[in-house]
Structure 1
Amino acid sequence: MTTYDIEQPSRAGASDNFRAALRSSAQAAIDWLIARQKPDGHWVGRAESNGCMEAQWRLCLWFLGLDDHPLCARLAQSLLDTQRADGAWEIYHAAPNGDINTTVEAYAALRVSGYREDHPALVKAQKWIETKGGLRNVRVFTRYWLALIGEWPWGKTPNLPPEVIWLPLWFPFNIYHFAQWARATLMPIAVLSARRPSRPLPPERRLDALFPGGRENFDFDLPPKKNAGGWDLFFRKTDKVLHGLQEFGHKHGLSLWRGAAVRHVLEWIIRHQDSDGGWGGIQPPWIYSLMALHVEGYALDHPVMAKGLGCLNDPGWRVDIGDATFIQATNSPVWDTILVLLAFDDAGTPDPHTEAVEKAVDWVLKRQVLVPGDWSVKLPGVKPGGWAFEYANNSYPDVDDTAVALIALAPFRDDPKWRAQGIEEALQRGVDWLIAMQSQSGGWGAFDKDNVNQLLTKIPFCDFGEALDPPSVDVTAHVVEAFARLGISRHHPTMARALAFLWTQQEPDGSWFGRWGVNYIYGIGAVLPALAAAGEDMGQSAIGRACDWLKSRQQNHGGWGESCASYMQAESAGRGTATASQTAWALMGLVAANRPQDQDAIARGCQFLIERQSEGTWPEPEFTGTGFPGYGVGQTIKLNDPLLSERLQQGPELSRAFMLRYGLYCHYFPLMALARVLCAAKTA
């Protein structure tokens, strides 16, 4: 096994034993990573989410008529294995409450699988659903799933006409004004909404227990949309008109335009299939696209369908544990690999030609996306140059991966070996693409430029989470850090606007909101290193407020933790079960600020990591990654925003959050933090 030596620091007054413990912990983490590198050079951890993934795939297999698929029983077992003691299913580890949508979908999936309604797991789930107001409170997506199995009238679901594919770019509801994840999902759902298909359950498997008053007495209408104002009434009336027109056209055979629109949507879907068989690098467009194509007559052995279904057996998506199978919401090989490289650089690997590093750099360089994607619709003259998050997702490279890829590759730019392989050109393409993707506010969203049309958040379809991809602090901070590492001055117009954006987004208490990681600890852990790299004055009071905020959240044992509930409960900001990843983010922020008065907090944080390391890594069941934060407002959010304040008062059970646990977060981030502490001690 290859090992790396971390040089002994020489900071006066530092304990030799403590320095030795830091080096030993970092070395064990490096060895752990080297042992788990894939043969082709990359790393990847499991992307864990919630039971909706397995429930929806089980329902999809039923809808497709694949009753004998080997995954059917395994998906059902995964649901039984993850049910809470109170009968619900949750959206993140140890959540204070179960989730009504996940629980209803899991219940339906188990009934589809043949479990009787008097099975103990189903009895508990049914009673829990009743205590939460029943089916009346489920989201739009859950209603679609119930319609697909004949348990919900299609006429009571939001109508998504496939004709939206023809709306021009200047029109507010053009599909390219929706966030990447919403757009890729909207297209196949538009087909399903137009065709209204279902494969009803047999009488003995129907969800009668969830309609205690009888279906004839149930109110299937969608509850009023929060924070939509007069737009809610407008869109509800529009939805009724669209349903009426659809029924009229079906009755009178007026299907010419609809058929053409559906064909156009199908062409769009097929063009967007990824090389691994999925769509969009995430579960929703993948699963809905398969069903939409099936409804339009694509046989299960058609190459497009076979490739999409075959993806279920891909280890990049599938995780088998005992008799259960879990299907990931996404996969993160590019993100994991570039962050491992960054951790190795922080740790001071002595030889850039070490086999593990060389293989990883080569793998990352080959993953640069050099073809246009959806982003190019609004930027037709811009050359591609980004990186995507997943194994296969050329349509949707993202700003965050691109920025961190530049940070990870920057140390190798002067190496003759990598210069001969075009690393400088790759870096320049990435920089040019990022500059073109900067939004007017000075920040960056994840997938699109200026994706901020708030009108889209008001339509009934968009109650599932975020319909937009506005600029965020953490993504912008990573771009700033990347540009600084590549020698771009903070006075460059792009950098100046970005830095101004970061400063305007600081909360009054000194923290920064974290969009793609939980939460304020992640935001500060991204921003402070970026500001330091850019050459900002780290002695200014605003930096001090951020550091003081972090120290005020440090726990007695030295660690930091923040619950996913912080997105919906202001009092949870910076508070929760301490984790290795969040402790690492806090440490990286404090190290970047480089204040003498923070040294004790840094030492205690390092001690927390050292003591909790086990066999080279850090156990961490908590979710510290963010898919949809759950506030559902659809704009750049700050804690003191009145719209968010109104949402916070409704409680976390009304959240449309989607949280993630990235399996390697608890490993490479602590390694980064320990290595940066060692480096800071050496240079002190």
Structure 2
Amino acid sequence: MDPDQSQETRDFSRPPEHLLNQSLSLAMDYTWDKMQLEEHWRDEALCNVTITTEQVFLFQCLGKTPIPDAELYKRYILSEQKEDGSWPIATKCHGDISTSCEAYLALKILGLSPSCQEMTKARQFILKAGGVAKARILTRISFARFGLFHWDAAPHLPAELILLPPSLKFNIYRLSSQARSTLIPLLVITHHRPVYALPNGRSADNDFIDELWVDPTGKMTSHYSRSSLFSPREIDPTELLFSGLDTALSYLGGLRRFPLRKKALRYCIQWILNNLEPPGDCPGISPPVHNNILALLLEGFSQNSPMVKLGMEAIERFTHQDETGKRLQSCVSPVWDTALMTRAICDSGWNKHDARLEKSHYNNFGPGVDDSVVVLLSMLHQNSSNIESDTVARAAMWICGMQNSDGGWGAFSNNYNQWLNKTPLKALRHSSTADLTGHVLEAFGMVLNIASRKSSEDLGSRLAQTKVLGAIVTASQRAVRYLAQEQEGFGPWYGCWGASYLYATSAAVSGLAWFADGDNWVKEMIASAVSWIKEVQNLDGGWGEGLESCNDQQMAGRGPSTPSHTAWAIMCLLEELDPDDASIRAGINHLLAEQQDVSLKREGASWEELNYAGTDSLGSLYLRSQVSSHYFPIMALGRYKKAMLCTYSN
């Protein structure tokens, strides 16, 4: 339990049916109110200020001064500053050195005086934390573009990486699709090593933020930690190897005069152009678009060229403006949000054949395992006859093909490469995760269950072929073994796309439950997880988990209750326990009590979530979305209602 929570006790009474129905009815009113263009759902994905600071940096690089909407950007960045002068990677987290350095530079570019109170407090925090020399790799690269870091203080990223064949252990296709979108334009930028002007002019050794250096004469600080490389107790051969390669590349001038460099740069630009969505952005994410624009300009495109203008227009579509100012979203997720909202609607007891649920959505260039799985689940929940669709068979086979060698799944690519953690590119890696593997198992379990109730004649699709179902069975067996290996000794699983243990544990149990019949091994895994879930329930009946659990196992399942964490816990318990279990009743009562009118149109009600419960990259980028804290509670309430009806009608 969270030691700081209020002493409100759990309500173990059975929730009145009329309150449950009323809650779901209000939630559904809000659901349809939030539907966009009568075809999909999506909401702003709130993240930290670095996404917005990169927008400010781009305008400065392009010479667009005064920067458009400068006061709005300034107002937003200041609104996120903590009392100690820092900026965190997520709300309620401690201040982060890299985020704070980027915010400070952006505010100074936007015209805020270094002597004002906000900048003074920010500067004091940064210096106390070790100064700008402690900033992360991507921050160093951003600052090097203005001469605030020497380019040699950032990793050497030879453009020839794009020429390495997929057969080699190290190539760009060992990274996720999002990572490739980030890395490839950086290969072009780090080749050219541009230095753009700041308000004080253009200089390769610019003193614009020298006040953030503990020692401004030491700007050649290495991005590798010498203590971690050469301490006898912590030495790592792989990290040492990449440090040596980086040093060698430095002596060789980063291979910028290598005969294949022109070809490599041409390949990079072609890759960027080929992988842009028609509106000009990368698949659903904004950060790479900034670097795409700079890469194109450095390779001869003009600011008036169609592709550059398209990129600028795409970036603007990611912006959001309200009373706190103007900010940039890191991503949009209409496929994910629409699929999960569809599933919530089906769980709520709403008419599954509502015409508004019949519309489909697609993702052209960047299909992800996570999106594909939730779409598959929503299709099967909406109508089990969809199993006869060729789409289901093709999606299932594709997902099988994306399974990693360890038996799990990552979000974007088959890239189980732990050694990438030892490189400067470690933030760009997406390996297998228990939460996504659990989602896949749930989808595959549902497919096999529906298929078992139909004859091969009824299954008039490719799914009826032994090859497809056989592949699903084999992949599922490997996934169960993966989850067995990944389960923590005290019961839960560690996740990635929701923070952190509660989300992954709910997903893993929901998947394993389809394979528990007659398998005591799987039953023991589920029982251990359920026992842990009950142990960490808060006194108010809900569940919560802070982002500290991402780095501290002792914080697993501990934190103030949130709608999302409570819903995940309830859905997990419903897989194993009688719906009239005291813990489940207390959780349902907590969700009913926390529902409130948060609709601008005052139509319906939802759940407000101020904590960040989602993540796009553990340790660097966390997300918060109002729509996700809406559909997960609906799922929990709907499944509870169905379970109660089934239990007591029997």
Corresponding residue of 2:343:
342
Question: What's the CA shift string for 1:165-204, capped at 9, x where partnerless?
Answer: 1112222321111232322211111111111001132438
Corresponding residue of 2:629:
666
Question: What's the CA shift string for 1:208-250, capped at 9, x where partnerless?
Answer: 211354x324452224175661333332232232123227x77
Deviation, 1:305, is: 0.5
Corresponding residue of 1:375:
none
Corresponding residue of 2:493:
512
Question: Which has the higher mean CA deviation after the structures are superposed, 270-279 or 495-504?
Answer: 495-504
Deviation, 1:626, is: 1.6
Letter aligned with residue 455 of structure 1: W
> Within the alignment, does 1:624 sit opposite 2:624 as a pair?
no
Structure 1 unpaired stretches of 5+: 1-13, 368-387, 389-393, 631-656
Q: Structure 1 residues 262 and 243 mapped into 2: Cα distance closer, same or farther (>3 Å)?
A: same
Corresponding residue of 1:357:
357
Letter aligned with residue 60 of structure 2: W
Question: What's the CA shift string for 1:228-278, capped at 9, x where partnerless?
Answer: 61333332232232123227x77xxx4653222212211111111122211
Structure 1 segment 419-458 matched on structure 2, within 5 A: 424-449=389-414, 451-458=415-422
CA distance in 1: counterparts of 2:569 and 2:91, whole angstroms: 21
Deviation, 1:589, is: 0.3
Structure 1 segment 362-511 matched on structure 2, within 5 A: 362-364=359-361, 367=362, 388=363, 394-413=364-383, 424-449=389-414, 451-459=415-423, 461-462=424-425, 465=427, 467-487=428-448, 492-511=473-492
> Within the alignment, does 1:590 sit opposite 2:593 as a pair?
no
CA distance in 2: counterparts of 1:412 and 1:323, whole angstroms: 39
TM-score (norm 1): 0.83
Letter aligned with residue 252 of structure 2: L
SS at match of 1:48: coil
Corresponding residue of 2:204:
none
Letter aligned with residue 567 of structure 1: C
Corresponding residue of 2:250:
243
SS at match of 1:198: coil
CA distance in 1: counterparts of 2:331 and 2:113, whole angstroms: 32
Question: Which has the higher mean CA deviation after the structures are superposed, 491-500 or 105-114?
Answer: 491-500
Indicate if the aligned counterparts of 1:36 and 1:43 stay in contact, CA closer than 8 A: yes
CA distance in 2: counterparts of 1:674 and 1:412, whole angstroms: 17
CA distance in 1: counterparts of 2:100 and 2:278, whole angstroms: 33
Deviation, 1:15, is: 7.3
Letter aligned with residue 233 of structure 1: L
Indicate if the aligned counterparts of 1:224 and 1:232 stay in contact, CA closer than 8 A: no
Indicate if the aligned counterparts of 2:13 and 2:586 stay in contact, CA closer than 8 A: no
Question: What's the CA shift string for 1:328-371, capped at 9, x where partnerless?
Answer: 11111111111111111111223x3323323xxx233xx1xxxx
CA distance in 2: counterparts of 1:16 and 1:473, whole angstroms: 33
> Within the alignment, does 1:84 sit opposite 2:75 as a pair?
no
Letter aligned with residue 206 of structure 1: F
Letter aligned with residue 312 of structure 2: L
Q: Structure 1 residues 537 and 93 mapped into 2: Cα distance closer, same or farther (>3 Å)?
A: farther
CA distance in 2: counterparts of 1:494 and 1:262, whole angstroms: 39
CA distance in 1: counterparts of 2:555 and 2:51, whole angstroms: 27
Structure 1 segment 108-127 matched on structure 2, within 5 A: 108-127=105-124
Which of 52, 70, 73 is the equivalent residue of 1:72?
A: 70
SS at match of 2:194: coil
Question: What's the CA shift string for 1:492-545, capped at 9, x where partnerless?
Answer: 222222222222222111111112111111012112222223454698333222
TM-score (norm 2): 0.87
CA distance in 2: counterparts of 1:545 and 1:531, whole angstroms: 13
Corresponding residue of 1:645:
none
Indicate if the aligned counterparts of 1:82 and 1:89 stay in contact, CA closer than 8 A: yes
SS at match of 1:363: coil
> Within the alignment, does 1:257 sit opposite 2:260 as a pair?
yes
Indicate if the aligned counterparts of 1:54 and 1:76 stay in contact, CA closer than 8 A: no
Corresponding residue of 1:23:
21
Q: Structure 1 residues 283 and 209 mapped into 2: Cα distance closer, same or farther (>3 Å)?
A: same
CA distance in 2: counterparts of 1:257 and 1:212, whole angstroms: 40
Q: Structure 1 residues 675 and 414 mapped into 2: Cα distance closer, same or farther (>3 Å)?
A: closer
How many residues align? The count is: 596
Deviation, 1:414, is: 5.8
CA distance in 2: counterparts of 1:571 and 1:595, whole angstroms: 29
Letter aligned with residue 338 of structure 1: A
Q: Structure 1 residues 63 and 594 mapped into 2: Cα distance closer, same or farther (>3 Å)?
A: same
- Give me the identity figure in percent: 31
Structure 1 segment 568-583 matched on structure 2, within 5 A: 568-583=551-566
Corresponding residue of 1:377:
none
Corresponding residue of 1:7:
none
Letter aligned with residue 216 of structure 1: T
SS at match of 2:509: helix
CA distance in 2: counterparts of 1:75 and 1:170, whole angstroms: 45
Q: Structure 1 residues 32 and 518 mapped into 2: Cα distance closer, same or farther (>3 Å)?
A: same
CA distance in 2: counterparts of 1:462 and 1:414, whole angstroms: 42
